Amino acid sequence: MSHPKHISIQDYTYNLPVEKIALHPLNERDASKLLVYRDGKIEQDVYKNIANYLPECSFLIFNNTKVIKARLRFKKSSGGIIEIFCLEPFESINDYSIVMNKTASVRWKCMIGGLSKWKEEQLQMEVTVGNEHLQIKARLIEKLIDAHVVEFNWLPAEKSFAEVLELFGDIPLPPYIKRKTEQQDAERYQTIYAKDEGSVAAPTAGLHFTQEVFKSLSQKNIETGFVTLHVGAGTFKPVKAATMQHHEMHAEWIDVSIAFIENLITQLDKNIVAVGTTSLRSIESLYWMGVKAYLQPTLQQLTISQWEVYEAPLATCHIKAKDALMALLNWLKNNNHQRLFTQSQILIAPGYSFKIAKAIVTNFHQPQSTLLLLVAAVIGKNATTEQANWRTIYDYALQNDFRFLSYGDGSLLFMAH
């Protein structure tokens, strides 16, 4: 694999007119337009018909993370607003559900809007639901390099943090959706199969899938599987460095069961399709963690950092996907784990060689973003021009009135053989 450290982000920009950014979802999830790219050809349809473009017996992998109401707005006595955006737990965790079910108090890494106005020791918010009076307080604990640690405590103390966020929080729409949240966002900025709470951004490729679409997949003997990757706010982080070597990729929590890995091994000879960039990063990370377990079975922890898949020893260890996943399974069982719960910081960019996925379903992403780099890696290069031909696809989408970003339309992109 060639190393993407030296990629210039200027090569991955395009003009995105503000009117192309979808501010609201369509009335019907599966009515969104679908661009299909395969073998250099582009077609368009709608998501309702996606099964028509997938080979029989494909295996679709979804991310079943659930978006939490991570945005808390505290009103000061002076009338000013301090907005706290919960990013991730500030404590060692081995299960996200344990953190979400914590009672009385928690500490989280947060971004804070209006920080300079936070003079009081504690911020406070109250609400009455039925006959029950609820209260939450926030206290600033410490400053980190890219965030702050905030301690929350609440009454009644027996409420879980998940319940507290549901009552006091707001859906964290992306920064480019420049409007206030509305009632429909609570449902529509969530996939219909969302299950495990922890994301602060939706795995947006899955927003287009309905029960009718799942039924059409089943009729074509297309199986589905679920991983969990909790999407962080870093997914919206623009690349500000001139070259990628100076950009720090955000780490995200992956939670995958042994049963899923066993099933994935049996599906390796099929057309494996990742629904969303998060699902793609998850399954490719599983391969590399398997390689690490293969090379060093006695490792105490398996994580993937930003560049290591491009460097020795991982990049020089050419083992088959089945052998890597079997090594991962053995590592989990030898360490008495029922599931893999760890972090991956994998950065997939042009030069990356895909190990498990054969295609991806994904929305249209921001210019100069790591998500656009991932799309460019999926599509590869046009052999005649040596120019990454993601531009062909994005130009087509712009010229054919596709809607962009989280609430927009999407694509089914097949990798080159």
Domain count, the chain: 2
Q: What pLDDT, in 10s, does the model give residues 330-357?
A: 999 999 999 999 999 999 999 999 999 9
- Tell whether 31 and 81 lie within a shared domain: no
**DSSP classification of residue 388:** E
Same domain, 33 and 161: no
Shared domain check, 233 and 347: yes
Residue 182: inside a domain: no
Dihedral over alpha carbons 228, 269, 284, 199 (to 10 degrees) = -20
Are 204 and 304 in the same domain?
yes
Q: What is the pLDDT of residue 381?
A: 62
Instruction: Report pLDDT digits (tens) over 38-81.
Output: 998 999 999 999 999 999 999 999 999 999 999 999 988 778 89
Which pLDDT score, from 0 to 100, does residue 383 have?
43
* Residue 181 within any structural domain of the chain: no
For residue 99, report the phi and psi dihedrals to the nearest 5 degrees: -65, -45
Q: Are residues 107 and 196 in the same domain?
A: no
* Dihedral in degrees, nearest 10, Cα atoms 409, 412, 416, 417: 180
> Could you tell me if residue 177 is inside a domain?
no
Tokens of residue 66, six digits: 């659930």
Is residue 180 a part of any domain in this protein?
Answer: no
Same-domain status, 321 and 220:
yes
- Nearest Cα neighbor of 274 from 354, 329, 350, 338 is 354
Query: What tokens were used for 408?
Result: 């927009």
The Cβ of residue 400 has, within 10 Å, a number of other Cβ atoms equal to 12
Domain containing residue 124: 70-170
What pLDDT is stored for residue 384 in this prediction? 43
pTM of the model: 0.95
User: What's at 51, amino acid-wise?
Assistant: A
Does a structural domain hold residue 186? Answer: no
Domain end call among 137, 170, 203: 170
- The pLDDT score that the predictor gives to residue 417 is 67
Q: Are residues 293 and 385 in the same domain?
A: yes
Using an 8 Å Cβ cutoff, are 341 and 94 in contact? Answer: yes
- CA 388 to the chain's CA centroid: 24
* Continuous H helices in 73-184: 96-100, 161-168
Which stretches in the chain have pLDDT values below 70? 381-388, 417
Q: Cβ of 54: how many Cβ atoms within 10 Å?
A: 21
Domain for residue 310, yes or no? yes
pLDDT at residue 253, as a whole number: 93
Burial of 23 (0-12, 13-18, 19+ CB in 10 A): middle
In terms of domains, do 58 and 161 share one? no
Q: Bridge-partner residues for 361, per DSSP? A: 275, 412
Single out the residue of 200, 309, 306 nearest to residue 247, CA to CA.
Answer: 306
Domain co-membership, 270 together with 284: yes
β-strands 59-63, 223-230: how paired? Answer: parallel
List, in sequence order, every residue forming a beta bridge with 272; answer none if it has no partner. 59
CATH number for the domain that contains residue 410 = 3.40.1780.10
In a domain, 184, yes or no: no
How many percent of the chain have pLDDT more than 90? 85
